[in-house]
């Protein structure tokens, strides 16, 4: 798995590729999982499951879950 660093106060966009069993999860459930991981102001939308969120905590490096096929810092 790839590693990625999120930075305090920065905004991020992630695109998910879910397997057939994971596709039944609602956008609300996916958003809650991101909040549980520490993100704030989480929004998940669309069939392709695009999420935007802010990382409010200290800079952190972690492995990217295999369901996330793209993650990038965005300007708001």
The full set of domain ranges for the chain reads 3-74
Which pLDDT value is given to residue 48?
Answer: 84
Q: What is the pTM of this model?
A: 0.89
**pLDDT attached to residue 8:** 98
Q: Confidence class of residue 25 from pLDDT cuts 50, 70 and 90?
A: very high
C-alpha pair distances (Å), 23 with each of 10, 14, 16, 19, 48: 28, 16, 10, 6, 9
């Amino acid at each position: 798995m790839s590693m990625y660093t999120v930075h305090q106060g920065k905004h991020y966009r992630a695109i998910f590729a879910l397997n057939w069993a994971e596709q039944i999860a609602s956008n609300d459930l996916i958003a809650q999982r991101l909040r549980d991981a520490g993100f704030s102001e989480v929004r998940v939308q669309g069939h392709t499951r695009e999420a935007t969120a802010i990382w409010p905590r200290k800079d952190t490096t972690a492995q990217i879950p295999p369901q996330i096929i793209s993650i990038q810092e965005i300007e708001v």
